């Protein structure tokens, strides 16, 4: 490979992944404490609004967590982003535990539902299915994808969920659980029974591919990670130009990988937006939000010219 980029024309936009807070109503065993707990205080809504005021004008905004929808002023924040500031694309990544009408009425552009199997997964599955197939007015149901978090000890339940989604032609991507941050491509796979791992790897995402490889091959970012095609160390990457990550405490980084260190704090107004790409220093690109960022394998590209 010599180039990876978004399959969509998003290169002139800045995708903001905003970890709105650490607070979550789940406690998944594979989710690190650095991004979730059930006691951290919620950030004041006026601080959040002031942060929105500082975002680039060409922002594509994605809220994550923790669980972003547990913030008591979340609906007010979404209204401010969409109806006051005019941000045209807002995504919410959620565990799907709110009532289905909450998702219908929220004025967002897109949802990512993560289906976790250590908790009340059947109820969440049914909520997602109700959202997917209910007869509602045009515009109420926003585009969405489902991340099926394939827990190695819950594979029977994972297969049941996928069968139900297939029955109703509901699109999804199956994700292996990532427990570790470094050598996970070997260590995490070893947690699976080989038959289960083979089944996961054989099931490509049924949602539309969002990543373009070498200007020819389209794949979904989840499949790129799943098949260990996510090794870009030494490549130049547009993290910071096409993306920013806002941490729960307001610290800003170029991407969810936090390559290059902190850019400052948006809650205190001290961050600066990068103007140049960066050379990747990570062994693996581990987040589906980071995979479609434009990356070029400079030595390989030079050989082709």
Domain locations along the chain? 3-304
Q: Which CATH architecture has domain 3-304?
A: Alpha-Beta Barrel (3.20)
* CB-CB contact of 272 with 252 (8 Å): no
Q: Is the pLDDT of residue 132 over 70?
A: yes
Identify which has the larger pLDDT, 292 or 178: 292
Task: Tell me the pLDDT of the chain averaged across its residues.
Answer: 93
User: For residue 183, what pLDDT is reported?
Assistant: 42
Round to whole Å and give the CA distance between 146 and 140.
18
Output the 3-class SS for the chain: CCEEEECCCCCCCEEEEEECCCECCCCCCCCCCCCCECCCCCCCHHHHHHHHHCCCCCEEEEEECCCHHHCCCHHHHHHHHHHHCCCCCEEEEECCCCCHHHHHHCCCCEEEEEECCCCCHHHHHHHHHHHHHCCCCCCCCCCEEEEEEECCCCHHHHHHHHHHHHHCCCCCEEEECCCCCCCHHHHCHHHCCHHHHHHHHHCCCCCCCCEEECCCEEECHHHHHHCCCCCCCCCEECECCCEEEECCCCEEECCCCCCCCCCCECCCCCCCCCCCCEECCCCCCCCCCCCCCCEECHHHHHHHC
Looking at residue 302, what is its pLDDT?
Answer: 52
Chain center to CA of 294: 16
* Closest residue by Cα to residue 92 from 16, 152, 166, 14: 16
| Dist CA 295 CA 2 (whole Å) | 8
Question: In which band, very low, low, confident or very high, does the pLDDT at 50 lie, cut at 50, 70 and 90?
Answer: very high
71-129 confidence digits (pLDDT tens): 999 999 999 999 999 999 999 999 999 999 999 999 999 999 999 999 999 999 999 99
The pLDDT confidence band at residue 181, using thresholds 50, 70 and 90, is: low
pLDDT of residue 301 exceeding 60, the answer is no
**Looking at residue 35, what is its pLDDT?**
86
The whole-number pLDDT of residue 305 equals 47
pLDDT of residue 299: 72
- Say which range, 47-61, 164-178, 289-303, has the weakest mean pLDDT: 289-303
The proportion of the chain whose per-residue pLDDT surpasses 70, expressed as a percent, equals: 95
Residue 300's pLDDT band (boundaries 50, 70, 90)?
low
Lowest-confidence pick of 92-96, 136-140, 171-175: 136-140
């Amino acid at each position: 490979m010599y180039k990876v980029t978004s399959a969509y024309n998003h290169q002139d936009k800045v995708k903001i992944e905003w970890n709105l807070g650490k607070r979550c109503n789940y406690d998944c065993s594979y989710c690190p404490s650095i991004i979730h707990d059930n006691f951290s205080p919620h950030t004041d809504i006026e601080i959040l609004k002031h942060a929105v005021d500082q975002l680039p004008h060409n922002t594509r905004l994605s809220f994550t967590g923790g669980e972003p929808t547990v913030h008591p002023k979340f609906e007010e924040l979404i209204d401010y982003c969409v109806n006051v500031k005019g941000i045209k694309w807002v995504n919410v990544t959620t565990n799907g535990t709110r009532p289905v009408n909450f998702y219908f009425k929220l004025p967002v552009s897109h949802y990512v539902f993560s289906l976790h199997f250590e908790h009340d997964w059947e109820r969440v599955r049914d909520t997602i299915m109700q959202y997917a197939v209910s007869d509602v007015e045009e515009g109420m149901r926003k585009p969405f994808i489902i991340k099926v978090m394939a827990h190695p000890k819950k594979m029977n339940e994972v297969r049941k969920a996928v069968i139900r989604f297939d029955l109703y032609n509901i699109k999804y991507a199956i994700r292996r659980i990532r427990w570790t941050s470094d050598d996970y491509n070997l260590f995490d796979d070893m947690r699976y029974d080989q038959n289960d791992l083979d089944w996961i790897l054989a099931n490509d995402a049924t949602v539309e591919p969002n990543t373009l490889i070498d200007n020819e091959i389209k794949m979904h970012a989840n499949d790129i990670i799943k098949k260990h095609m996510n090794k870009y160390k030494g490549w130049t990457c547009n993290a910071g130009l096409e993306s920013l990550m806002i941490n729960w405490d307001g610290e800003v980084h170029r991407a969810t990988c936090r390559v290059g260190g902190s850019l400052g704090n948006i809650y205190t107004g001290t961050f600066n937006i990068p103007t140049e790409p960066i050379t990747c220093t990570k062994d693996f690109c581990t987040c589906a939000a980071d995979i479609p960022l434009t990356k070029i394998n400079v030595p390989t590209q030079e050989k082709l010219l």
